[in-house]
Structure 1
Amino acid sequence: MPEPVNMELTACVVVFKPDRLTVIRTLKSLRQALDSLPPQLVKLTIVDNSPGNADHTWLQEVLGEFPCEIISGQGNVGFARANNLVLGNVGKYHLVLNPDVEMEADALEQALAFMRDNDDCALLTPQAFNPDGSKQYLCKRYPTLFDLFLRGFAPAWLKSSFRKRLDRYEMRDQPANAIAWDPPIVSGCFMLFRGEVFEKLQGFDSRYLLYFEDFDISLRTGEIARIAYVPSVRIVHEGGRAADKGLWHIWQFMRSAAIFFRQHSMKIF
């Protein structure tokens, strides 16, 4: 059995053949955001899914004395299984963080304060922006197959014809600067869980290699606890569409969508 964890906050970042400059910006941002917590109450885990024996000296140089464990050598086991390697060793609060996210200096201070003040919140999602300053929409309503096609693969002219539909799917009708409770689905780029809930859920469903694991865990969280969108927690997320990343990513998107709709209900239109 794992030793009991007395950490206030644990965080996990999964990387695969990482762009070093992007990851360095993320880690510097994370370190700055953690300044309000004593180092002995924080632990970061970086799971490297890259093939072979990757060089991690650059990570250690960035992190310095910051408490961190690097897990590697397992190969590309996928986002879900990689994040689940920390099960049994999560803190009171547990952050799932993409390696392409930068947060404002007070983001975690704001997030943890909200979690402490709201015992019924098991999962927190932030307000997000693209690198150019435009708004990203991390909260979603339950998708149909048509919604996913439009958002991920449709050309701009077709998207414009269904703008109202996409806006509704992305919950753009909700006030951007007001706390919103119980969005059905939130993005996996920044998920702050209450640790006991993440453990109860047994983390992500390992059948998902890439894509839709955040959809699934959002729905499963919503069945047993509450999710909150907290706009005072602000991040910048690079992100990117699966269709822009090549055939392998398109295949993984379709494969994971099939798993998701078999597991949950399918809506075509």
Structure 2
Amino acid sequence: MLKSGISVSIVTYNTWERTATCINSILNARSELPIEILVHDNGAERTEQVEWPSFVDVHESASNLGFGAGHNSNLRRAKYDTFLVMNPDVAIDAGTLHALWSALREDDTVAVAPRLVYPDGSEQLSVRRLPSVWTELARIIGADRQPNTMWSTLVRLPAGAVVLDVEQPAAAVLAVRTDVMRRIGGFDTSFPMYFEDVDLCARLGSTGRIVLLADHRAVHDGEGTAKHYRKATTFWIENSRRRYHRKFASGPSRPVILSAIWVSALTHFAALTAKALLRTGDERRILFAKAQGYGFALIATFAGTDDHWRKKFLKR
């Protein structure tokens, strides 16, 4: 029997300093609400020995299981009725924490998220529509960045919005009913990195409402550690994009979508390689790393097993 309260789930990978800051923000925000903080550490760099309160439970994984599997491990240990997925590079206040819990008291609401802002207070485009044949076709020519159009998954929130029904809020901060999360099997662990939140929201949306509390916010760094692993990040975004559409696309649009993804990866690879050749220093290195990510994603469509690519890009 689940108790009334919040089980905060954090998965970290060699980011203990950020994780400690995140935990402290939750401790400062908890007020009278029953809470537990479940941390799954996928990293090789062991956590600092800190004397946390008894309701902070840090589990050190023997291997890097990935984002979704880490949260699923926490889900199995959760004892409260609200399961709050949080990135380690997020800070949250008491008002937002309580509002997320309260919003899930509505019978038809299964998931809820706050507005996300950068540390300087500027707004993140953290809400998206689920990908479609139109958004994947638009990516081929880079026409998918204009929010609130049929060609983009990006959603710009209307001024003055309070509570909005949405398709896919970012899982940097996402509260879900624990019983629903368990019923649908948690995160799909066939997505090692990226698109696991898109997949989750696609499944959650079939069970009830997903809402955004636009009048509450959390501070999100926005890049986390991804900027240090650009080749792997790019590879997994593209690999998981194809995996998502293989799972959900059907009918005449399926071959169109899968072809569009491959062509888009090719155009991005070519453009980044050409741009890198015109740059020097760190900028060239970063551009080449991202181009390599697209290149490996192209290769992965016809060569290599899942285990091969996980070993290559999910290192300890």
Tell me the TM-score normalized by structure 2.
0.71
In the alignment, structure 1 residue 42 sits paired with structure 2 residue 38: no
Instruction: Give the aligned residue type for 1:194.
Output: R
Assess if the C-alpha contact under 8 Å between 1:7 and 1:42 holds in 2: no
The Cα offsets for residues 33-75 of structure 1, whole Å up to 9 and x where unpaired, read as 21231xxx321110000127x1330xx34xx325121111331
The Cα offsets for residues 193-236 of structure 1, whole Å up to 9 and x where unpaired, read as 11111111111000011100000000100011110111233101
Instruction: Give the aligned residue type for 1:113.
Output: S
The Cα offsets for residues 162-201 of structure 1, whole Å up to 9 and x where unpaired, read as 56749953221544632111x1212110110111111111
The 1-side partners of 2:159 and 2:189 are apart by 34
The 1-side partners of 2:56 and 2:140 are apart by 39
Assess if the C-alpha contact under 8 Å between 2:40 and 2:74 holds in 1: no
What SS does the aligned partner of 1:113 have?
helix
Counterpart for residue 247 of structure 2: 263
> Of residues 75, 100, 122 in structure 2, which corresponds to 1:111?
100
Counterpart for residue 121 of structure 1: 109
The 2-side partners of 1:48 and 1:95 are apart by 17
Structure 2: any 5+ residue segments left out of the alignment?
262-316
The 2-side partners of 1:138 and 1:163 are apart by 11
The 2-side partners of 1:230 and 1:163 are apart by 19
Tell me the TM-score normalized by structure 1.
0.82
- How does 1:1-269 map onto structure 2 within 5 Å? 4-6=1-3, 8-20=5-17, 22-37=18-33, 41-51=34-44, 54-57=46-49, 60-61=50-51, 64-90=52-78, 91-116=80-105, 118-143=106-131, 144-146=135-137, 162=146, 165=149, 169-172=153-156, 174-175=158-159, 177-181=161-165, 183-240=166-223, 245-265=229-249, 267=257, 268=260
The 2-side partners of 1:46 and 1:231 are apart by 27
Q: Give how far 1:141 is off.
A: 1.1
What SS does the aligned partner of 1:255 have?
helix
Structure 1 vs Structure 2 CA RMSD: 2.7
Instruction: Give the aligned residue type for 1:193.
Output: V
Q: More displaced, 130-139 or 8-17?
A: 130-139
Assess if the C-alpha contact under 8 Å between 2:116 and 2:124 holds in 1: yes
Instruction: Give the aligned residue type for 1:11.
Output: V
Distance 1:164 1:65, change over 3 A: closer
Aligned residues: 248
Instruction: Give the aligned residue type for 1:100.
Output: D
Q: Which has the higher contact order (CA 8 A, sep 6+)?
A: 1
The runs of 4+ residues in structure 1 deviating greater than 6 Å are none
What SS does the aligned partner of 2:77 have?
coil
Distance 1:6 1:114, change over 3 A: closer
Assess if the C-alpha contact under 8 Å between 1:93 and 1:195 holds in 2: yes
Q: More displaced, 122-131 or 24-33?
A: 24-33
Which structure would you say has the larger Rg? 2
The 2-side partners of 1:243 and 1:16 are apart by 13
